Structure 1
């Protein structure tokens, strides 16, 4: 195995001549904080040449106490630990640096007033329809930032793995389209700096946790996007990464300490065996490899057991919530970081913002593994999570499998039915994020072998079952990745997002008739769902598909409203005897099919067309 030379770690040897003449503060992170936060604790990472060899004092400031100046292995870092009382007024803290060789130097740190009532920020919920965007591939709103000096990865739309130029301004320019389509929340793949030499467009190799990548825009523009989205009835979910960084992160040139990242004598990749988390027989070496192994050589694995790093990551998430006004976080690879850290991270955020929502990625088709991470779950090892939402990979897999399967002795709907029937393992199944597809898997239309009827059945199910539904950009116009599962192709450019595109999903220019039909279908379905409170939080009851029958029926209901959802996979029309559903319907059905606008009067049976769905608002 090749020796992984990255892990050679050097520290500064400081002589008396170099003490403070070189002293300069290059970074303070977080760059600011706010008064009136729920937590009174703040720890500032200060980075500068030999700063750890200086004495640091805080000038008197009412309400602020300097608890500790933490020195670490690398003398270029100190961690200043403060307590900020609730009634502290905004202003600038003044710190002094002293050394024996140089005159006293002052530096300031801003404490700001909180804007509005961000502590009451309401997160996303089952009332939302989430639209997932890979920003580099959605729309290019500002061509002047396509290439930026100092960033090696240049725009090349012909390179499937390269940067294509999409940016935050492109999202802002099309907020009206997204709102009109019926979406209410935007999950945006990471926009923080990825100063990697190539393949940096996806955003998951972060090189600066406090800076939006200039090829996407700026911190200020991200904040503007959140504000303008809210004006259009859209909230923003920020994609975050706590497990790893990019190899070109500024830390990697000068690590605070050797244990800042998970070090190995030779490069060691994670085994991806997430089952060990629940496995009572798991070997210690397997657990260590899972948690501490790297994803790839270009993504160093962070060691969240280092207390200063853990605090840094927690504060970073809180800083972005407070600064930008986002309404949710999607945490990448949730099970991979240290488990106790992830608990502390989610707990700290929920204590600061009780109504905020975090969804964690646990890519497993086993409901027991997904359920383990949700808040309120009673786990055999007493692990108590503070994570409100988890991504429902089991239901996504079951939906696709059921739609693609042929009936045998039993209905092909059975896998989907039985997966939903396992909701008893979840603390709150209505808080799970359900989805058609995402940036890491083949497009839904491809998964369904480009069968338009199955595509519509899938969308109806996602719009009406329990949970928080999410669609990937381009799902509404049948984007595909035929013949390949290459991520660069899956994340192809959204048509119309670039000047002079021959096809535009925003205007309809050049779309095929089927694409236009799909777009209109999605628009009608989502805008209906937006006002259908019974789907957001009503009770759910489904009926077991009968052997060899290809009809699946479920109901959403509360004291005021009731809807009946009928999904027919048969290649011919089917008559459905409504007496089977009398415990919910009563003796007869009166209502309107939302999709066709057809009224149903005093029916005892229902005819549903081949390979189609009905959403009946029951009267």
Structure 2
């Protein structure tokens, strides 16, 4: 197709589609970058049916292979440079690893953008689209996408596609060098040809590798043409400026109505929704879209999805900035959930590492009153939570994964359990379950190639990391199985619980003195009269014990609670009795860097 006018909606929609989930808070997401996940050439891994695969080119990564790409300065440079280019991951490779994700406990995979990128540009991340009606051949074909989704559905996994409509790739250049936003509209030199030169006039194009597609976007009015953003928080600069070399799309006409470009992009994404039978979109850079434009897109996508039986097609908005701004924007644009990018990630990570008080994290969800919500379960399906991701904007020039610092390798299961067993839709970033460290400070280092290749994890090359025997993989799989089994952990009200060392003086766990907090951090999830008491230990080296308050009405003194989950499995089945301390309390011991659940 060259134009969205060629989309045959009747042919696309004349079939049955995979239904939406009843409740998205029941899902567990896994975010991966297609280029960095799997190229399908690994050996010594388990296929979708759990069968060991002995053939293939790339052996499994072992600890002794860490650093094997750093032998000489030339080898170190080659490894670093590889991180800025396409490394070879494909949709077919991902399709073959769905069993790895299912056995981990993942129920929805969030896939980075896969539409065609500007030729000759190393936008392996997928956020620089040149053709909105085709899949980038480096990732595969449209049929590969459809086959991926069909296989995922057959295995009980939903697929959420990352989509971009705020901007295109670097498809044209300005007539003046590198203009920055000052409220002016700048003249353009032309669309880029196959060599990247801006020599093609705006108007109808014939070569699909030039300019931008579909044809409806090939007009001057498609773009704001106001130069690069410098102040990312100044209105209207952040709405109308370019993302570096990416080109901002004018989504509204001057009168505030949807532009032809917005209508064309919306139609293109409706096509992909139906063609591949997708279950949701993660919508990029919603902060940088006029709310009226984002609301038009959300309404049109929701209505189209409902018309084919997807009554709960989910739109997850990336909205950077303060939490209050994010949730005002979410409500204004009519999308379903926001990514908990800055404050959720930051508080979660540093709580587990003992550098922030637990009330800072749990206070984000308490009652939701400051966000105008009257229910303290409102967040359960309105925010996607996690702690590792592909941008780590919150860390500035010190970007690294959780495992890289502050004994994060020993605390990873505690962090993953806190994420899985507290409010929100949990999201695991690929490689966290293999303790990837992402050390280096730059975006590339937190985007390691899971399949190895030229830019493997832990400064390696030629070794894949699909290890289902890894202790963090196994630990997370057990936590997610517990979450799946216990409704309170998905839907329940949430309370940070006071603790005591002597059984007399109770208070919230908190930092005391200059060092990190090494303590039991407990919370309750209560659903339909059922309380589940959870706790992590922020001490990476030793078990910790504390008296923990429980709900006196549900667990009065004398009540027995059983340990149904413990990272030290030998201690599961242990029974404790509630005593009349601070109302009602039980003694809880949590292994080093561990997680427990009682009811």
Same fold by TM-score greater than 0.5: yes
Alpha-carbon deviation of 1:448?
4.3
Q: Which of these residues, 220, 236, 241, is aligned with residue 258 of structure 1?
A: 220
Distance in 1 of aligned mates of 2:156 and 2:461? 28
Match of 1:397 in 2: 346
Match of 1:53 in 2: none
Match of 2:385 in 1: 434
- The answer (yes or no) to whether the contact 1:563–1:615 under 8 Å persists in 2 is no
Match of 2:487 in 1: 533
Match of 1:146 in 2: none
RCO greater where, 1 or 2, for CA within 8 Å and sep 6 or more?
2
Distance in 2 of aligned mates of 1:291 and 1:386? 18
Deviations 1:465-485 (A, max 9, x none): 011000111000100122x22
C-alpha change, 1:607 and 1:527, in structure 2 (3 Å) is closer
Q: Which of these residues, 114, 117, 123, is aligned with residue 14 of structure 2?
A: 114
Deviations 1:571-613 (A, max 9, x none): 6544432455434433233212313441232423324145444
C-alpha change, 1:193 and 1:502, in structure 2 (3 Å) is closer
User: Gaps spanning 5+ residues in structure 1: where?
Assistant: 1-25, 36-110, 144-155, 274-285, 376-383, 509-514
1:334 matched to 2:286: yes
Q: Which of these residues, 493, 497, 510, is aligned with residue 449 of structure 2?
A: 493
Spell out the pairing of 1:500-515 with structure 2 (5 A cutoff). 503-507=463-467
Match of 1:362 in 2: 319
Spell out the pairing of 1:200-279 with structure 2 (5 A cutoff). 200-248=123-171, 253=200, 254-255=202-203, 256-264=218-226, 267-273=227-233
Deviations 1:397-452 (A, max 9, x none): 1112323344xxxx832322333336331653112100121111245324643433
- The answer (yes or no) to whether the contact 2:287–2:319 under 8 Å persists in 1 is yes
Distance in 2 of aligned mates of 1:251 and 1:205? 15
Deviations 1:154-176 (A, max 9, x none): xx976210111110010011111
Match of 1:593 in 2: 564
Match of 1:305 in 2: 252
User: Gaps spanning 5+ residues in structure 2: where?
Assistant: 43-77, 173-189, 193-199, 204-217, 254-258, 306-310, 393-398, 499-507, 579-585
Alpha-carbon deviation of 1:617?
4.0
Match of 2:522 in 1: 553
Distance in 1 of aligned mates of 2:93 and 2:404? 28
1:355 is paired with a residue of what secondary structure? Answer: coil
Distance in 2 of aligned mates of 1:496 and 1:561? 45
Spell out the pairing of 1:152-163 with structure 2 (5 A cutoff). 159-163=82-86
Match of 1:576 in 2: 546
1:134 matched to 2:33: yes
Alpha-carbon deviation of 1:489?
1.7
Match of 2:437 in 1: 480
1:413 matched to 2:358: yes
Match of 2:108 in 1: 185
Alpha-carbon deviation of 1:351?
2.1
C-alpha change, 1:184 and 1:517, in structure 2 (3 Å) is same
Match of 2:589 in 1: 608
TM-score scaled by length of structure 1:
0.70
1:452 matched to 2:416: no
C-alpha change, 1:112 and 1:599, in structure 2 (3 Å) is closer
1:287 is paired with a residue of what secondary structure? Answer: coil
1:465 is paired with a residue of what secondary structure? Answer: coil
Deviations 1:519-559 (A, max 9, x none): 21112212222333222222222225145483322111222
1:321 is paired with a residue of what secondary structure? Answer: helix
2:26 is paired with a residue of what secondary structure? Answer: coil
Distance in 1 of aligned mates of 2:492 and 2:170? 47
C-alpha change, 1:490 and 1:503, in structure 2 (3 Å) is same
Higher alpha-carbon Rg:
1
Give the count of matched residue pairs.
Answer: 470
Alpha-carbon deviation of 1:456?
2.1
Distance in 2 of aligned mates of 1:31 and 1:433? 36
- The answer (yes or no) to whether the contact 1:403–1:448 under 8 Å persists in 2 is no
Alpha-carbon deviation of 1:496?
5.8
C-alpha change, 1:361 and 1:141, in structure 2 (3 Å) is same
- The answer (yes or no) to whether the contact 1:130–1:187 under 8 Å persists in 2 is yes
Distance in 1 of aligned mates of 2:279 and 2:222? 30
Question: How big is the alpha-carbon RMSD for the aligned residues of Structure 1 and Structure 2?
Answer: 2.9
Alpha-carbon deviation of 1:212?
0.3
- The answer (yes or no) to whether the contact 2:412–2:593 under 8 Å persists in 1 is no
C-alpha change, 1:260 and 1:317, in structure 2 (3 Å) is same
Match of 1:290 in 2: 238
- The answer (yes or no) to whether the contact 2:353–2:538 under 8 Å persists in 1 is no
Distance in 1 of aligned mates of 2:402 and 2:136? 31
